[in-house]
Amino acid sequence: MRVLATVVFLIICSVSAYAEDVWVQVRESRVRSKPLFYASGVSTVRYGDKLSKTGDEGGWAAVKSGGFQGYLPLSAISRQHIVLSVKGLSKVEADSSDVVLAGKGFSREVEQSFRTENRNVRYDLVDKVEQVAKVSTQDVEQFVNKGGLHN
């Protein structure tokens, strides 16, 4: 019985200590101190950054890298190694919006397909919000503090 308990303990320890390499698949994201969108940020990661995923909590991944650890939405990471490179290309045809869409699993063709199938949706307003709605991390943290949103 003692041997079985030891084996179970070792399995639990090895699973909890397991870290999986993942890469950031969005242009930029704040790593949060808790698995909450309004939790304070501990670091900023960018498209293609390599992180170690140490666990899941709801729709969040527990991640660490270098001098920080925290949480990212699962949608912001990929198990596939992401490399952003133009090495060997004589002409670059992609602009920054193509790179962002690709990081989210979209292409211009996929976005156009959504627009065609959903003609009643005001995509121009979504585009406008993306262009003008720049909220700083400090503004978000101030909003959270004033609203008493911390757990």
7 found inside a domain: no
Please report, for the domain that includes residue 106, its CATH number.
2.30.30.40
8 found inside a domain: no
Backbone φ and ψ of 123, nearest 5°: -65, -25
* pLDDT tens-digit readout, 37-89: 888 899 999 989 999 999 999 899 999 998 899 999 998 999 888 776 555 54
pLDDT for res 60: 93
138 found inside a domain: yes
5 found inside a domain: no
| 8 A C-beta contact, residue 86 and residue 98 | no
3-class secondary structure, 86: coil
Which structural domain, as residue segments, surrounds residue 57?
Answer: 17-85+93-147
12 found inside a domain: no
DSSP label of 83 = -
Angle at 25 between CA 68 and CA 60, to 5 degrees: 55
2 found inside a domain: no
11 found inside a domain: no
pLDDT for res 96: 52
62 found inside a domain: yes
Token pair, residue 15, equals: 């699973």
Q: Say how far apart CA 138 and CA 128 lie, in whole Å.
A: 23
* pLDDT tens-digit readout, 85-109: 555 544 545 555 555 555 555 566 7
Return the biggest CA–CA distance within the chain. Answer: 67
Q: What is the mean pLDDT of residues 4-11?
A: 55
Please give the tally of structural domains in the chain: 1
* pLDDT tens-digit readout, 133-150: 777 777 878 888 888 876
Backbone φ and ψ of 143, nearest 5°: -60, -45
The pTM of this model reads: 0.55
Q: Say how far apart CA 19 and CA 53 lie, in whole Å.
A: 5
DSSP label of 48 = T
